[in-house]
Chain A
Amino acid sequence: MVRFENVGMRYGMGPEILRDVSFHLEPGSLHFLTGPSGAGKTSLLKLMFLAHKPSRGLISMFGNDIATTPRAELPSLRKRIGVVFQEFRLLEHLTTYENVALPLRVAGRDEAEYRADVEELLAWVGLGERMQARPSTLSGGEQQRASIARAVVGRPALLLADEPTGNVDPEMGQRLLRLFIELNRLGTSVLIATHDRALVESTAAPELIIQNGELAYRE
């Protein structure tokens, strides 16, 4: 599913943020990515959701070597990845419903075909009454839930979540974790980057620990 071998990454001519990162995510796996702030969690996720290229090493996504995959084929790989951004990245001029439905619209699906699914998902994450609200009128927690709904609406093969429970109360955090676990049970590989030890310890999922740009693995 995802394979990193001796991957290094730097921004421009700056120092290496990630060094010799190697790991393998099996299909249908659930992992946590932990580590102190600034350790390189978000940079690692950026490589995984194809927003950056590594400065060295091999990255293979769904069996495709990213270095040799033609640029025109990358969008079809991105469509298989759902991303929960730390800063939500909801589009301000679209409603909550339109934001959540965006991946389906981009995939060229008819609205009539997906409307009920999107509404059901929004109700499930507690935004059933806020479907027509603009992101600027949502609270931090509501924006986070909308961002999660957008990431999972297309049933991605790989879900990458950057601090997905950072802005919600523990009860909603557990509810969202159950959503990730349910998706994982249905076949989606899930990687959750978090500082929340309670979240990590509530499951028996293995942990990728990143420190000073280097990766360690804990079962």
Chain B
Amino acid sequence: MSDERTEQAPRQETNWIDRLIKFVSQGSRTGIMPPADITGATLVLVVAAMCYLACLALGAMITVTSSASDWTAQLEGALTIQVKPQNDITLEDQIGAALSVLDGTTGVAQAQALSNEDVRALLDPWLGESQDSEDLPLPSLIDVQLEPGAIIDMARLAERLAAAAPGIELDTHRQWLGELLSAARSATWLSIGILVLIALTTGAIVVFATQASLAANHETVEVLHLVGAQDEFVANEIQRHFFQLGLRGGASGLGAAVITFVLISWLGSEGGAFLLPVPGLTLSDYPWLLTVPTAIALTTTAAARITVLRVLRRMI
């Protein structure tokens, strides 16, 4: 036996990096807590489900936010002029009158009348590619691109266009865009609400799971306590155990969510799977999903630590 006394104090960690290295490196040693039990397996499953739902909510929020941003960027720099056929004037004259008004308007970069084929193509996603649309009395459309940052009095422009020829209407997309952005904002807040709810639920589940695990491993905790382990030591062992469970569950949930998003992107790009085009997540969006298992693993760790310290303080 060694002649040294064992009561020497544990080495002092000099800073948080040392603490982190110690925390991670000890993960490779045999854990003092049992590696897996029924509580642990259930917790991994629950954390995986929570992480999956949270990833879906976050992914939906990212998709909606980036789509709303794209729509805003696309529509804020564009106008559409609808030219409805009239009996007392030819379509060509109506279009010519509208183009000449636009020509004299400051801030208009380009104005171009769409061909009948282009107009019908716009209806294809809604009516299909059948030839029936050829018989429909479709208006002509003029696509107007604005100069970046152009400030145009839309009401005045609408008046001038209406005065130039009958049947000309200005569509600024503002009302549609406003409703769309309002819906996008609601969806974003809903996603945030779901994320908060999931975080709170996960925290509550982990607290219960930790208490159950502590009850199941009461013998281990008590023996550690009686051989002189500080509360901090026991708490570190247990939080490491729960951090690993949290990471395993989080990684499983993340994997399932990534597969789901890839499938959504693939089905969305195939077309026809959804009523509206679904852009899905871009490659640069995926790293954001990593925040979910990280946050869940940290929530799990914090909940376990707080619970175990509370239990230990009840012991002498």
A residues sitting closer than 8 Å to B (CB atoms) are 49-53, 71-72, 74-81, 83, 89, 91-95, 98, 102-109, 113-114, 117, 120-121, 150, 152-156
Contact = CB atoms under 8 A, between A and B. Distances in A.
Give the most central of B1, B7, B316: most A CB within 10 Å.
B1
Contacts of A89: 219, 222-223
Contact of B32 (A76, A78, A105, A114): A105
B104 interface: no
A93 B35 contact: yes
Contacts of B226: 49-51, 78, 83
Nearest to B227: A103
A91 B9 contact: no
Please report whether the interface of chain B is mostly helix, strand, loop or mixed according to DSSP.
loop
Contacts of A104: 6
B35 to A, nearest CB: 7
B223 to A, nearest CB: 5
A81 B10 CA distance: 18
Contact of B1 (A52, A106, A155): A155
Please classify how large the interface on chain B is, using the bins under 10, 10 to 19, 20 to 34, 35 or more: 20 to 34
B228 A75 contact: yes
B223 A102 contact: yes
A51 B316 contact: yes
A144 B224 CA distance: 18
Contacts of B2: 113-114, 117, 155
Nearest to A81: B228
B95 to A, nearest CB: 82
B8 interface: yes
A153 B220 CA distance: 19
A106 B7 contact: no
Given A52-B316, A53-B316, A114-B2, A106 B224 contact: yes
A95 to B, nearest CB: 8
A91 B1 contact: no
B291 interface: no
B11 to A, nearest CB: 6
A136 to B, nearest CB: 13
A52 B229 CA distance: 16
A103 to B, nearest CB: 5
User: Which 7 pairs across A and B sit closest by C-beta, in order of nearness?
Assistant: A108-B10, A79-B228, A154-B6, A78-B228, A93-B34, A107-B6, A106-B229
A9 B157 CA distance: 95
Given A94-B32, A103-B228, 14 more contacts: A50-B226, A78-B225, A79-B228, A80-B7, A83-B226, A89-B223, A103-B227, A105-B32, A106-B228, A106-B229, A114-B2, A117-B2, A155-B2, A156-B6
Contact of B227 (A53, A93, A102, A117): A102
A121 B6 CA distance: 15
A174 B2 CA distance: 23
A76 B316 contact: no
Contact of B219 (A81, A91, A150, A154): A91
A111 to B, nearest CB: 8
B3 interface: yes
Contacts of B269: none
Interface in B1-21: 1-11
A155 B8 contact: no
A114 to B, nearest CB: 6
B10 A107 contact: yes
Given A103-B228, A117-B1, A76 B7 contact: yes
A121 B316 contact: no
Nearest to A49: B226
Q: Which of A80, A95, A108 has the most CB of B within 10 A?
A: A108
Contacts of A78: 225-228
B228 A155 contact: no
B223 A91 contact: yes
A74 B9 contact: no
22 contacts: A50-B226, A50-B316, A51-B226, A74-B316, A75-B229, A76-B228, A78-B225, A79-B6, A79-B227, A80-B7, A89-B219, A91-B223, A93-B34, A94-B30, A95-B30, A98-B30, A103-B227, A107-B7, A108-B8, A108-B11, A117-B1, A153-B1
Interface in B224-255: 224-231, 233
B224 A155 contact: no
Nearest to A150: B227
Contacts of B230: 72, 75
Nearest to B312: A71
A121 B1 contact: yes
A150 B224 CA distance: 12
